[in-house]
Every structure is written in C-alpha cells, then in structure tokens.
Amino acid sequence: MLIVEQFPVLVVAISLLSAFTILVAGLVNKKSCCFISIATILVQLVMAFYILNHVLTEGTIHYWLGGWKPPWGIEYVVDALNAYVLVIVLFIALICAIYSKRSIEHELPHKLVSFYTVYQLLITGMCGVTVTGDMFNMYVFLEIMCIAGYALIASSKIGLKAGFTYLVMGSIGACFVLLGIGFLYSVTGSLNMHDLSLLLPPLYGNRVVQAAFVFFFTGLGIKMAFFPLHTWQPDAYAYAPSAVSVIIAAAMSKVSIYAFLRVLFSVYTAEFIRIYAPLTTVISWLAAIAIIFGSVYALAQYNLKRMFAYSSVAHVGYIMLAVGICTSTTLGLTPAVMHLLNHAVMKGCLFLIAGAFIYKRAELWDIMKFPGLGRKMPYTGIAFIFTALAMCDIPPSAGFVTILYLILAFLEAGQFIFAAVILFSVIVTFFYFFHVVEMMYLRVGVEEEIEKERGEIPMSMLIPVFLLAALCWITGVIWLMKIPFPILDAVNSMFGLGVVP
C-alpha cells in the first residue's frame, strides 16, 4: 500500500492526538497551543493535497480500519468529492488558526488552552465526517464536530445562549440522523455506504427506507441550517468569538452539506431522486424560499455578523437549489460543488473582517456606528470592498461564476422562476452591502477625528484577510479557465449525473 493511501486515517488520527498534545502542552506554556494547532493543520492540509492528487490521477482510496473487510469493518473511502471538501475545510481551518492567535488572545485571554484543544477536536470531527465510508462512523464524527462547535460558540459570555440554542437544535438533528441510520440498518443489516447503495434500490418503495430519508433530510437540514431549520444559526454566527464564526460559517457548514450530499447520492443514489421526482421539487422550492428569506432578512440587519449569518442562509439555498435541479441538467452538481469553495472563501473573509472590526474598535457590531471606519482601517476596508463585490457577483469573482452556472442550469432545465429568484437575491445583496460601504466611506461623524483614530489590525490577522479577499477573485478566474473541472467531471460521473436521460 502506498503511503498516500494511509493519509485518510492519518489526517484524522494526528488531529485527535494533537488535541491531547495541546491540552498537556498548555499546562506548561499556554502560548504554545496556537503554534501546535497551526503546525498540525498545516501537515493535514499537505496530506489533503496529496490525497486529492492521488484520487484524480490514480482513483478512489479505500482504507480498511484494522484490516477488517467491509461491510463488516469500518472503511474510509476518499473520492473526488470528499478529497475536494477535505482541502477546503483544512485550508479554512489553517487560515482561521493563524488569524485566531491575536483574536482569541483579545476575546478569550483566559481560555487559550481549552479553546485550541476543542478547536482541534472540531477539526478532527470535520475530517472524520469527510473521509469515512461508514454511516455510523459518520454520525460519531458529526457529533464530535457539533459538540466541539457548541462549546466554542458558548466560550464567550455573549455566546452562551446561542451555544445552548445550537446544542438543543443540534441534538434534535442528531437524533433524526441516528434514527435514519437505525432504520436503514434494520432493513439492510449494513452500515457501509457502498453496500447500502447496492442493497437499497430494490427497497426504494419500502416505507422504512423512505422514512429514513426524511429523518436524514431533517437532521442534516438542521446541521447545515437549511430553511426553515436554520433558527439556531443567526445568533450562533453573531455572538460566537470571531475566529469561531469563521470556522463554523466557512468550513463546518460545508461539512454538513457534504454529509447530506453523500447520503443523498452515495447511499440513496440519483436513481432514488429520479423515481421520486417530487423530492427535487420540494428541495428546489425550499431553497428558493431560503434565498428570498435570507436575502431580505440580511437587508434588515444592523448587526454586521447577523447580516452575514442571514446571507449564509441564502447561500445554503444556492447550493440546495443546485442540488434540486441536478438531475434535470447536463451540468449536474457542478454549481453546487463550485459554491462549496466559493462561499467558504467569500464568507470566511467577511467574518474575518467582522472580527477585525470587533478587535480594533471595542466590540464594534452595529453598522450604524461605522461612519468613517473605512478611513480608520484603510486596508481592512479595501479587503471588505473587494469581498463585498465578489458577494454581489461582479465578474470575474467567485460569486459571479456560481451565479453564471446556476442560471445556465435553470435555463437548460426550463426553470425560469428559479433564475428570477437568483437575480432577485443578487439585487438585494448589492443593497445590503452598499449600505455597509456607504456607512464606512460616505458618512462621517461630526466629532470624529479620523487621523487620530487611524489604526490597523496586527499583520497575523491582516494577511489572512487579504489572502481570502484575493482568493474571492482568483478562484473565480480559475473556475472560468476550467482548471479544476476534472474534479467536477469526476463528481458528476461518480453519481451518474451530468447526462439528462
């Protein structure tokens, strides 16, 4: 077995080991915690790139834990989709870890050891969900990820209520997922995803199998904040520590979406969707409502992080709308898979910038207190403008590419109403971001002294902000050049999508 074929289990194991290392090392020197976390995630990211390259050149990686052959043993399976998601998750996690050094020292100075220990457990959970090919193992890692998320959100005093709300909603979601797994096991006797995909087709008409899908849809819908199961999200995103808002919005949500895609297409398969066509209609219309709801509510917000949170509700709608249309277009899952990366980069950058404002300007949340802020923090302000333009889908940004492929998919499928919903969202997005830019640059307080108050965030925070702001545009250009399209082609081929029967 090649060394790269050992990486799927190593990428999880070293992260778990690092969490214990951070806890012990923190008792000696708490400042070492951040550096241990950064070093660990960097090693994991290098492994993830090797895994992605191997999958695209050599094929899917199968790793049997303990040498036990599936379906009896737990199997880690890495194909084009989860290799791609693993790279996104670990890249965002690395950016967030670098940014968090000064941010967490400012917001949680007495909780450095516990923060980085739990943060590394969060990374462990996300990696585990991404690489596993076993349903129950996916559930276990999903709960590790979510429990760590609850703790990180509640680590600040103002985030305590939001963390508890997420705990309650997340636990309900976990129960639904576990019930779905139990239902499938009761009729198939297997937990291996590939084995289930072979056993389920003759049982698609079974009420237990159909009920299991409803449980999965509901439980994972809560985890990924899909409308109308998103109610925990705005407070969680708004009141979590700044670095935590970044990781849960840009990476954790993508893992939950990935888990849903994996269950829908690897376990139930595209044939299940084609047989039960109303399913795509339900997903599409819920996604359309999510887009309208999230966009309008974002427009109404005065708290910057809550505005970004409701914007995320709309963007989860973008992904799910692409999922709903995937069997009716030759583009398949292309727009959805694209937006996993595009939204992670754009929303990650926005929450980094929100954290920068809070770090530098004494817990600055209220948009109405932003007059002159663009000139007080000129570099962060420039990064915000570039990211906001990407969110407004100005070509050739990452946001523009998503919208372009979504509209092409809707036009090909003859679903013009959904193309209109997307255009409506783009217009509303422009207005709520313009409002923030107007407050930052076009309004100046009567008694403010801009030159006296000028100041920027530390370089360890500013560099991640500029890197993601640049990637909001570089990513768009790369997509337009079709450089990563082998990943998209592999995903569509794997799920039997991209060809309309």
* pLDDT of res. 250: 87
**pLDDT tens, position by position, 104-152:** 877 777 888 888 899 999 999 999 999 998 899 899 999 999 899 888 8
User: What would the two tokens of residue 267 be?
Assistant: 């376990």
Can you spell out the DSSP letters for 407-464? HHHHHHHT-HHHHHHHHHHHHHHHHHHHHHHIIIII---SS--HHHH-----HHHHHH
Task: Using alpha carbons, select from 242, 76, 240, 93 the residue that is nearest to residue 161.
Answer: 240
Spell out the domain ranges in the chain. 294-501
Torsion angle of C-alpha atoms 150, 156, 158, 164, degrees rounded to 10: 20
DSSP 369-381: G-TTHHHHSHHHH
Q: Please say if the pLDDT value at position 446 is more than 80.
A: no
Using alpha carbons, select from 370, 349, 348 the residue that is nearest to residue 360.
370
Tell me the pLDDT tens digit for each residue of 371-391: 777 788 888 888 999 999 999
Assess whether pLDDT exceeds 50 at residue 449. no
Query: Which tens digits make up the pLDDT trace of 305-358?
Result: 888 989 889 999 999 998 888 777 888 888 889 999 999 999 999 999 988 888
CB 40 within 8 A of CB 98: no
pLDDT given at position 363: 63
Who's near 482: CB < 8 A, 6+ residues apart?
none
Calculate mean pLDDT across residues 83-100. 92
Task: Provide the pLDDT for residue 305.
Answer: 86
Q: 380, 498, 374: which is closest to 440 by C-alpha?
A: 374
Q: Which two tokens stand for residue 183?
A: 């239902």
Locus of tokens 């422009």: 430
Closest CA to 233 of 295, 301, 293, 306: 306
Mean pLDDT of 233-252: 86
User: For 238-242, what is the mean pLDDT?
Assistant: 84
pTM over 0.85: yes
| Cα 154 to Cα 48: distance, rounded to the nearest angstrom | 30
Q: pLDDT by residue (tens digit) across 256-288?
A: 999 999 998 888 888 888 787 677 788 889 999
- CA 462 vs CA 101, 380, 387, 455: distances in Å: 12, 7, 14, 12
Nearest to 253 by CA among 131, 170, 323, 326: 170
How far is residue 161 from each of residues 209, 238, 442, measured CA to CA in Å?
36, 12, 36
Q: Which one, of 11, 24, 161, 153, lies nearest residue 85 by Cα?
A: 11
Confidence at residue 179, expressed as pLDDT on a 0 to 100 scale: 93
pLDDT in tens, 12-53: 999 999 989 988 888 888 888 889 989 999 999 999 999 999
Tokens of 13: 């194991």
For the stretch 61-78, what's the b/e string if a residue is b when 16 or more beta carbons lie within 10 angstroms of its beta carbon? bebeeeeeebbeebbbbb
Quickly list H helices, 240-333.
242-247, 253-262, 269-275, 278-299, 304-325
Query: Distance between CA 248 and CA 236 in Å, rounded?
Result: 9
pLDDT at residue 87, as a whole number:
93
